[in-house]
Chains A and B, each alone.
Chain A
């Protein structure tokens, strides 16, 4: 026998690289997840349109009409929705990735797999749900005379990449911790409640600077990668539908780069935490 494969320690893995190596399995896991989610439902994927649509209508009337944001912000509907899609993707990806290891306990306990597969699958499933929302947003944009530049389109794509990286990084950290203490999934729900309000989704950045000035608190506010991604989406989807009178948030480019750096650091930390705790998953579940 000319078998020259070397000895290796079972269960040692290349982390996220192994997910790429096992991408066929990843595809099947995503398929399974989607099947399970919509199993036995009449509307099926239609539900992924329903939730943001209802959310949009509620926010539009409460904040746009009752609280009169419509008056100050041109095309407030587009402004609102381009932020909502960011938050919806982030919430779904982060919270499902956090639960992904505990939800797949049967597999984790019995068979060795690169466990990063589960959070990655959760993030991709969230992307599948993001697409219909994006289509709805684009229809709204075209209806309002959207004329984006190539740079704005590229910025939107890059912004999404930063968002997905950030969600996956956090998902890896909290997914691993959640195996040890189930408190973390509740903590994540709490973080997500705050997250929607801690970025300029429902309001504009000018209201924030009016309230807290442009000091260190404002810098802190902008260091949140979600804030940068929301502003990038505004710049890509909302700004090209307006007459351009509303000033884009200052230093958006710089904060976008910072957001990318923060997200990559979080992803690195996530991978490290995950590797560190991975060996304990089977016995803690």
Chain B
């Protein structure tokens, strides 16, 4: 089922030489800036660090890859570049088709709206048309298993119910490229299983999947290729088993050096 060959025509995502810097400004206060300038310490005002350094890879249709690395290695930044939330400072990122993701699924929800209204709003935010949402509406509600609360304002939901609803919308958006950031934090175990099954299903439909997770068992089950990042550098791009081995190796070495 997996299209292991990254034939040019089947590429969905192409990242070439992507670089991203962040500038951390310590202050924006005018007073501070004037004082530091007079003291000749203007540079102290901000700090630049490289979040991603010259990253190149591509992902084909029907392929599932994992971005691996420790906290702060640049995984989420890379996802943001692919989704378009941020732009790269250097290099080029190209995608083909529609992107959607399970990235902080609650972001598009509004507490004062009812469950039903939130399905429509969230669906539209994730790029669905009115018709698509209407077609999927019953499936979304059934998936969330909270039919009886659809006319209740979301602020009265428990946190679990809230995430269920957000997640249900996200997995029904039908994108070509599906980005997943830490999915297993959602709901109770049966619901988690259901979510994983749905992601498996998307994969079998030939969607392109990019997963960020620290759950290596889950990752090895869902993906066949892994990219390991360390402090913004790409350490390797290869079969998932090898990627996991490398990551575990890096992790233990990291602990020793502390």
Task: Name the residue on B nearest A28 (C-beta).
Answer: B121
Considering the complex, give the chain A residue whose CB is closest to the CB of B22.
Answer: A283
**Is A10 at the interface (CB under 8 A from chain B)?**
yes
| Residues of chain B in range 14-36 having any CB-CB distance to chain A below 8 Å | 14, 22, 28
Task: With A5-B96, A32-B113, A111-B108 as known contacts, state yes or no: A282 contacts B80, CB within 8 Å.
Answer: yes
**Which one of A71-79, A102-110, A154-162, A222-230 is at the B interface?**
A102-110
- Taken together as a complex, chains A and B put the C-alpha atoms of A8 and B124 apart, in Å, by 21
Asked if A9 and B94 make an inter-chain contact with CB atoms under 8 angstroms apart, the answer reads yes
Q: Within B70-126, which residues are at the interface with A (CB < 8 Å)?
A: 80-87, 92-97, 99, 101, 103-104, 107-108, 110, 112-113, 117, 120-121, 124-126
Q: Does B130 contact A (CB under 8 A)?
A: yes
- A35 to B125, Cβ gap below 8 A? no
B46 in contact (CB, < 8 A): no
Contacts known (A9-B92, A10-B99, A28-B124); A111 close to B86, Cβ less than 8 A:
no
Decide: A11 and B87 in contact? CB cutoff 8 A: yes
A29: chain B residues within 8 A (beta carbon): 121
Interface band, chain B:
35 or more
The residue on A at minimum CB distance from B106 is: A106
Residue B159 is within 8 A (CB to CB) of chain A in the complex: no
B61 in contact with A36 (CB, 8 Å): no
Q: Tell me if A112 counts as interface (CB < 8 A to partner B).
A: yes
**Chain B CB within 8 A of A67 CB:** no
Judge whether A10 and B95 touch: CB under 8 Å: yes
Contact B22 A25 (CB under 8 A): no
Chain A residue, CB-CB nearest to B83 = A112
| CA A109 to CA B107, docked complex, whole Å | 9
Min Cβ gap A110→B in Å is 4
Interface presence of B129 (CB below 8 A): yes
Q: How far is the CA of A31 from the CA of B112 in the complex (A)?
A: 11
In the complex formed, the residue of A with least CB distance to B11 is A7
Question: Are A7 and B96 closer than 8 Å at their CB atoms?
Answer: yes
Closest beta carbon of chain A to B52's beta carbon, Å: 12
CB pair A109–B85 under 8 Å, yes or no, is yes
B95 and A111 contacting across the interface, CB-CB below 8 Å: no
Contact with A along B204-239 (1 / 0, CB 8 A): 001000000000000000000000000000000000
B110 touches A113 (CB 8 A): no
Residue numbers in A under 8 Å from B11 (CB-CB): 7
Q: Is the CB of B86 within 8 A of A283?
A: yes
Task: Return B258 CB to nearest CB of chain A, in Å.
Answer: 29
Q: What residues of chain B lie closer than 8 Å to A31, measured between beta carbons?
A: 117
Report the bound CA distance from A248 to B112 in whole Å. Answer: 48
- Cβ of A277 to closest chain B Cβ, rounded Å: 11
Across the interface, A36 reaches (CB within 8 A) one of B82, B107, B110, B176, namely: B110
Nearest CB of A to B194, in Å: 23
Cβ–Cβ < 8 Å partners of B84 in chain A: 9-12, 112
A27-B130 Cα distance, complex, nearest whole Å: 11
The contact string, 1 if C-beta is below 8 Å from chain B, for chain A 90-115, is 00000000000000001111111100
The contact sample of 12 A-B pairs, CB cut-off 8 A, is: A1-B206, A3-B96, A10-B95, A10-B99, A24-B130, A31-B117, A32-B113, A39-B112, A107-B108, A111-B101, A113-B125, A283-B86
* 4 interchain residue pairs of minimum CB distance: A11-B84, A10-B84, A279-B87, A112-B84
With A7-B95, A110-B104 known, 20 other A-B pairs at CB within 8 A are: A3-B96, A7-B14, A8-B94, A9-B93, A10-B93, A11-B84, A11-B85, A28-B117, A28-B121, A35-B112, A107-B107, A109-B85, A110-B107, A111-B103, A111-B108, A111-B125, A112-B84, A112-B99, A113-B125, A181-B28
Residue positions of A touching B, CB distance < 8 A? 1, 3, 5-12, 22, 24-25, 28-29, 31-32, 35-36, 39, 106-113, 181, 279, 282-283
**Interface residues in chain B, defined as those with a beta carbon under 8 Å from any beta carbon in chain A:** 11, 14, 22, 28, 61, 80-87, 92-97, 99, 101, 103-104, 107-108, 110, 112-113, 117, 120-121, 124-126, 129-130, 176, 206
